[in-house]
Structures are given as structure tokens and as C-alpha cells.
Amino acid sequence: MRHDYPFDPTYGHDLAALLSITAPEEPADFAEFWRDLHTAARTVDVAPVLREVISPQPQTRVFEIEFTSLGDVRIGGWLTYSRNEPVERGVVVGHGYGGREGPDFHLPLPRAAMIFPCARGISRSACTKLSSNPLRHVLHGIRQRETYILGGCAADTVWCAASALLERFPIAAQRLEYLGISFAGGVGALALPWDERFHRAHLNVPSFGHHPLRMNCPCAGSGEAIRMYQRRTGQALATLRYFDAAVAARHLQIPVHVAAARFDPAVPPPGQFAIYNALAGHRELFVLQTGHFDHQERAAEEMRLQDALAYFFNCE
């Protein structure tokens, strides 16, 4: 791939090397920390409020939704479901670090009620206390694991979002699924192992995998802010040990489909593959030519990925 980056977005790894990367060492109380955080989030009275808005798709109803997350933070997003088909499943759909402008309508998941939550500080969950700039957002509260932003984001976009969806559609509990890209891919890997309600997941170019390795990978994404913070202070990894998506993946037992890129200037591929390689349950891999980077075959590749997702989520 021709590019203008001052670094190699493959980081010198061919596919064989990427598939050999193992997760870093796990802190002794890693699982305890995440289970306690999940328990706290599950006790939240999410109190969802919905307001129907004009839908660009005649066959789909669209609602703006607000609900409460961990720390009494009010989270905004969207909820959609079919006008003509019964709801038989629920889907939580996360977003990248650029946020989102509205719900997605292209996902191959029929008869689904879908919730599209916005993480605290971002898009419909913007607030004065948090910057929406990824380079600042990713550092918020990083001095301590109890205050680090990704813990709250896990509650916002996975656990409490699921609670809000299931409060409106209890029947969706029979088949609850998750899709997350980039930022949300990493947050999903961190949050899903501890929540027994989810049945399947798709992680697309997931972030936050193998932080020690990422410290040696310059990039154009939020990871660069973390890398520079670690260089200045030497303190980031003490917290990030508890927010490593590759470490969490060791605990993820449900079937997971991963789309991981061999070339990605924003989310270093070694971290993406470290997550996939560590997954404990059934796993499926879709190898992307690039992530966060356009190329001539991207549209065709995206169509193949949608076909793969349709099979993965509807094969039962």
C-alpha cells in the first residue's frame, strides 16, 4: 500500500507473524476487577427514555434513546427495529473513536432490535467534563484503574446499553449479540467476558490489544496519545494492564468473529491479532487488507465481510 506515514503500518509483521502473537501477562486480580465493575453496572437503574424520530428507512422505526450508566452518567444513542417483523433478537452496536451520527441500516441481522449507544463524552453522550477528542478522551482518568475512562465506556456501550435494550424488549434476551469496530471492538473485548447475557460477537479492527507491544508502535490513532503519555510519565502501563483487550479475550467464551487488518495506521495490527489469537471460545477470522485506510478493493472486501457476518450471525 502506498502511503505517506513516517512509519510502516504493517509494523514488519506478515500474516504468520501476526497469528503467532500471544497476549501479555495477566494481573492476578484482572478478572476480579472486571467482575466487580460489571456487577456495579448491572445494579444501575438504566431508566431508558425513547423518542421516535423520522426514519430514513421506511421499513425501520428509529428512536433516540437515553439511559443511565455507571456513575449516574446519562448516555444517548439510537434504537431501531422493524415496522413489519417481530423482534426475535437484540444487538448492541458500538462505534469507533470518531463517534456516530446515527444508527446503521446495513447490518445483516433480521428481526433485531438494535441499540447504538454513544460512549460518555462522545456524540450524543457529549458532556462538558470530557473531551470528545480521542487523543484526550483516551487519557481521561488514566492515573488509576478505578477512574480510567474505558471502564465507564464498557458500562455505557455494552452492559448498561444491553440492560436498556432488554428492558424495552425482554424477548431479545434469547439472542443477544454485539458488534464493535475499532474503539468499540476493543471495549467489547474488555466487557463481554463478564456478561453472560451475550451469545455472539463481532469485533472489527479492535483496539486496546497488547499494550506493551503497542508502546513500540507509532500510529495515527488514539494509541499514540497513550504511547506519548507513557514516554513522558512511565505510568500508563500500570493502569493499562487492566484494560488490555488481548488479556480479556482469554476469558471470552462465546463465539466471536474478528475482522483484523494486516495494514492499519490507526490501530496497529499486532494488537488486533493479539486479541483474536487469545480468544478462548469458537473464533472466526476475516483478514482485511487494511484498516482505517482506503484502497481500490475496499468496497468488494466490505461486501465479502457482510456476507461472512450474515452467515456467522444467522447460521443457527
Output the domain CATH number for residue 22: 3.40.50.1820
Is residue 7 assigned to a domain?
no
- Structural domain for 203, as ranges: 15-310
Per-residue pLDDT band for 45 (boundaries 50, 70, 90) equals very high
Residue 69 has pLDDT above 90, yes or no: yes
Residue 58 has pLDDT above 80, yes or no: yes
For residues 237-264, give the mean pLDDT. 98
For residues 205-221, give the mean pLDDT. 97
Is residue 73 assigned to a domain?
yes
Residue 83 has pLDDT above 90, yes or no: yes
- pTM for this entry: 0.97
For residues 89-113, give the mean pLDDT. 97
Is residue 98 assigned to a domain?
yes
For residues 231-242, give the mean pLDDT. 96
Is residue 164 assigned to a domain?
yes
Is residue 4 assigned to a domain?
no
Question: What local confidence, expressed as pLDDT, does residue 315 receive?
Answer: 80
Residue 316 has pLDDT above 90, yes or no: no
For residues 130 and 140, the answer to whether their CB atoms sit within 8 Å is yes
Phi, psi of 193 (to 5 degrees): -60, -20
Over the stretch 291-314, which tens digit does the pLDDT of each residue have?
999 998 999 999 999 999 999 999
Is residue 5 assigned to a domain?
no
For residues 169 and 55, the answer to whether their CB atoms sit within 8 Å is no
Is residue 1 assigned to a domain?
no
For residues 97-110, give the mean pLDDT. 96
Is residue 315 assigned to a domain?
no
**Number of domains composing the chain:** 1
C-alpha cell at 259: 475482522
